[in-house]
Structure 1
Amino acid sequence: MKYPQLKLDNQLCHRLYMASNSVVRAYRDALNALELTYPQYVVMMALWEEDKVTIAQLLKKTAIDGGAMTQILKKMTDKQLLEVIQDDDDKRKKLVKLLPYGVKMQQQAAAIPQQIRCQFSSINEQEAIQLMTLLDKLNTDLA
């Protein structure tokens, strides 16, 4: 090969791409039972952590693109998981608030993280924490 730096096996970015796709696939069955996509699940986790937040806060917390978030919130509103309402204090702000079905879904989703974690059988707990730390560093550098 004329340019070994272009060899696919030498690329961190390709490994991240493959890992990202593999993780989303791993979630597919569990999330299908809830009728959620992975991005919708991320939004739900953020709202279970803190409900009735501004769209701006939700964008920051989830790191989902604004255009994609609009579509996600519309679909989740149609599923009656949440609603987007005006802030009483500032009419320019929109708040995202879980509806009863969205709140109830948290109980159904509670086992998912452990189900997925069990699929990472070759990574121990310490390595998982180290991996999250490294990914946080990477995301901070690329932000």
Structure 2
Amino acid sequence: MNIRASLLPAGDTPTPMPLDEQLCFGLYAASMAITRLYKPTLDRLGITYPQFLVLQALHEQEGRTIGQIAARLGLESSTITPLVKRLEAAGLAERARNPQDERQVSVRLTEQGRERWAQTGCLAPLVMARCHVDPAALAALNADIRKLLDALNAGGRPEAE
């Protein structure tokens, strides 16, 4: 059920919303545009956007487990494992099993991974340069998006209709 439908009195038939009025589409399109903006920089460094996110998570906290990286990025562990394996094959990260619990795999940046991170760093200036928006306005937008994400995550799974 869309937002318009939930706001209508019972019995009224909602009209379909144009894509540009749908929040999910706006967020998706903006995310894709930002990823396209980052791509030339990431291509020069030989990493993908998901790999960049893993590097960032490891830069924030070394020695995270696969599960902790997945939780930080809002992804499944089964998605993170191949990303980490590719980073390891590229010499940017290393994995180690926890001797107390073999199921846990800890991931650390290698020296080369730390150097790559330093070359990549924060890509936000690319967005600010492209869209000519005041940094405070972008920070406020990001805060609003984080509140939305927190609210969506706190809401749990929607009930089946």
Partner of 1:24: 35
Taking structure 1 as the reference length, the TM-score comes to 0.88
User: One-letter code of the match for 2:109?
Assistant: L
Partner of 1:125: 135
Partner of 1:83: 94
Q: Distance in 2 between matches of 1:8 and 1:113?
A: 26
Give, in angstroms, the shift of residue 67 of structure 1. 2.2
Q: What is the aligned length?
A: 141
Give, in angstroms, the shift of residue 54 of structure 1. 1.2
Give, in angstroms, the shift of residue 65 of structure 1. 2.8
Q: Is 1:102 aligned to 2:113, yes or no? A: yes
| Structure 2: tracts of 5 or more residues without a match | 1-12, 154-161
Give, in angstroms, the shift of residue 40 of structure 1. 0.5
Q: Distance in 2 between matches of 1:120 and 1:65?
A: 32
Aligned ranges 1:47-62 → 2 under 5 Å: 47-62=58-73
Report the structure, 1 or 2, having the larger helix content.
1
SS at match of 1:84: strand
Contact persistence 2:128–2:134 (CA under 8 A): no
Give, in angstroms, the shift of residue 85 of structure 1. 0.8
SS at match of 2:95: strand
User: One-letter code of the match for 2:103?
Assistant: R
SS at match of 1:92: strand
Q: Distance in 2 between matches of 1:104 and 1:8?
A: 41
SS at match of 1:45: helix
Q: Aligned residues: percent identity?
A: 27
User: One-letter code of the match for 2:128?
Assistant: R
Q: Distance in 2 between matches of 1:25 and 1:48?
A: 23
| Structure 1: tracts of 5 or more residues without a match | none
Relative to structure 1, the CA distance from residue 102 to residue 126 in structure 2 (aligned partners, 3 Å threshold; closer, same or farther) is same
Relative to structure 1, the CA distance from residue 112 to residue 137 in structure 2 (aligned partners, 3 Å threshold; closer, same or farther) is closer
Tell me which structure has the larger Cα radius of gyration: 2
Q: Which has the higher contact order (CA 8 A, sep 6+)?
A: 1
Taking structure 2 as the reference length, the TM-score comes to 0.79
SS at match of 1:36: coil
SS at match of 1:119: helix
Q: Please, which moves more after superposition, 51-60 or 22-31?
A: 51-60
